[in-house]
Amino acid sequence: MEVLAFGVQTDEKPLMEAAFAGHHDLRCLDVFLTEDTAPLAAGYEAVSTSVNADLDARVLRALAAGGTRMIAQRSTGFNNIDLTAARQLGLTVARVSSYSPHSVAEFAWALAMAVNRRLVRAAIRTRDFDFRLDGLLGHDLHGRTAGVLGTGRIGEAFARIAHGFGMNLLGWDLAPNPACVALGMRYVEKEELFAASDVLSLHVPLVPETRHLVDAAALKAMKDDAILVNSSRGGLVDTDALVTELRAGRFTGVGLDVYEAEAGLFYLDKSLEPVTDDTLARLMTFPNVLVTSHQAYYTVDAVTEIIATTVRNITDYVAGRRSENVLVPPPGDLIAG
């Protein structure tokens, strides 16, 4: 099978080429899949896409018109894919349903620690040989409360690290995770989670029900000196409401690895272009905010696992098999499991 992969990062390319060798012919592109780049896939039955690909109905129609029949997304989230349109067009869609949760959980804690201990400001100062401590005062985490919004595999990994710090654990999810309960986590309503957490980390998927789950009311309910971390999906947070609270001088720190309008920005070099996103520009001005470019998953271990699963998804498609990774099966496919 010839596969065209969109949005392949420089570090990712050798890992992909090694994983695909002996299985499928692979061509890697560093451009992301959009309506403008979709014609590049003409003649390729299978394409692989990154998390920031734009897979709306128009893009899917362009892919289908060019002969594409299978889309293998290299991520867990699929809120960027119009699954209804894919089904109508007869496109098979698969994702990576899971990979090492430690990459994201560890990065979420890196963000929390960085804003708590003012590491970015400290590093910039010392580079200029300014060794003052003014403005660098942080908090001990031991004995404080970590709130985990979503206690699946990543949320559980985040909770285990918090437990190692000696923190109290609060959680919210549709159903308790027994492993988190065993760590001493107490499950509460969202309102209590927002109000009681010293560190609040988001680990739920972005679906219509969770969009702006952290809205103006939730942000106002949080402690003035709380730390908010989002390494899941940008749309979970009402960014305009967050800016309003930051302007009021609230929160010890905010660590954002995702942003609700990141498509067309993240993973690209925009350093020589004028800033057109006023909200993101405003976020960047707050000294207690750290924004990174959706890199929490980006470790050798996680990326290798993601790519290996992508290869299996394409191989399963060729063989007519269906796994739990399939979001839209081939037309007429009645195979279960």
Q: Packing angle between helix 102-116 and helix 300-319, nearest 10 degrees?
A: 150
d(CA 164, CA 174): 25
Active site residue 24: no
Retrieve residue 133's tokens: 């401590």
CA distance 212 to 216: 9
H/E/C letters for each residue in 246-281? HHCCCCCEEEECCCCCCCCCCCCCCCCCCCCCHHHH
Marked catalytic residue, from 74, 262, 312, 322: 262
For residue 171, what is the enclosing H or E element?
strand 168-172
> Are the C-beta atoms of 237 and 259 separated by less than 8 Å?
no
Q: Of 152, 156, 186, which Cα lies nearest the Cα of 169?
A: 186
Of the listed 153, 294, 312, 322, which one is catalytic? 294
Q: Is the torsion defined by CA of 319, 324, 332, 70 positive or negative? A: negative
Q: How far is CA 260 from CA 43, 68, 184, 232, 265, in A?
A: 33, 29, 33, 11, 11
- List 118, 233, 250, 312, catalytic entry: 233
CA separation for the pair 101, 154 (Å, rounded): 5
| DSSP-derived 3-state class of residue 77 | coil
Judge whether 132 counts as a catalytic residue: no
Would you call 121 a catalytic residue per the annotation? no
**Pairing mode, strands 25-28 and 46-49:** unpaired
Residues with a catalytic annotation lie at 233, 262, 294
